[in-house]
Amino acid sequence: MTTIDLDAIPSEEPTSYDWPTLVTELNQLLRLKTTPIGMKMFATVAEMEAVPKIRRPQSIHTTDQIVAQAARLGWTVGITSDDLVGAQCGAVIGLHPRDDRWLSGKNMAGVWFETIEDSAQHQAAMDCVPFGQYQAMAVSPLTSGRLDPPDICLVYATPGQMIILINGLQWSGYKKFEWSVVGESACADSWGRALKTGEPSLAIPCFAERRYGGVNDDELLMALPPKYLPRAIAAMKRLAANGLRYPIPQYGIQSDARAGLAVSYGG
């Protein structure tokens, strides 16, 4: 692992990113199983299609599938609303309007929610990118550097890995994270919210993400703007130096806990 000054945690947004080094360090700290990727929105289709080695879908997909093609296959993929299976996927990333039909939740009533009123409340609760700003979106492994920088980074991790990442995000300039769960359409909790607010956003991937997006049963998803990654990595190194690292060793449920607690939490 690269040696750095553990106290020199960056406080400003970087002007450039060394993606191979950042991802290598992230993997060393968290032992991730899934490729960290970036997502970027584009004002025009031409800008998206100018990304080096970008693939364009030959079939109709969900956004979950497009994200998975980057995270599971290592592809760089670009889409427009015409490539997506329906309005639900497009609305989350601002490629489809949240019009009256979409807001009604009609298609989900009796399937995901008991009543049309429940469905409408779900739709209204979703965090979505405002419509009209963008015509296209692309995803790519961070190490490719093809979306430099992406609007957000997507990190799939187990709960144990994720709490260490969260601890890193909270090391300095502490902030209590308060995340919501919309249930189905949980991509609104991750990439929808992160794109909309510019804040780290944690989600429990939903049925569709697991069924169509290849998300593993033990994975959570953190979406965050790239400026947070160098700080989190530097902070996780500082935590590791304090003995707070992944994998978290089991202490034993019947052991005398005082010695361990004295090290991690003080006397």
Give all strands of the β-sheet with 152-157 in edge-to-edge order. Answer: 77-79, 136-141, 37-42, 152-157, 220-224, 201-203
Q: What CA–CA distance (Å, rounded) separates 201 from 236?
A: 18
176 located within any domain? yes
Q: Of 153, 159, 179, 134, nearest to 231 (Cα)?
A: 153
254 located within any domain? no
DSSP assignment string, 154-199: EEEE-HHHHHHHHHHHTSSS---------SSSGGGTTHHHHHHHSS
92 located within any domain? yes
Q: Into how many domains does the chain fold?
A: 1
pLDDT along the chain (267 residues), means of 10: 48 85 98 98 98 97 98 98 96 97 94 97 98 98 97 98 98 96 97 98 98 97 98 98 94 88 80
- Range of 27's domain? 19-248
204 located within any domain? yes
207 located within any domain? yes
264 located within any domain? no
Instruction: Determine the straight-line distance between the first and last CA of the chain, rounded to whole angstroms.
Output: 31
263 located within any domain? no
Q: What CA–CA distance (Å, rounded) separates 30 from 37?
A: 15
| pTM of the entire predicted model | 0.93
10 located within any domain? no
Q: What CA–CA distance (Å, rounded) separates 223 from 139?
A: 13
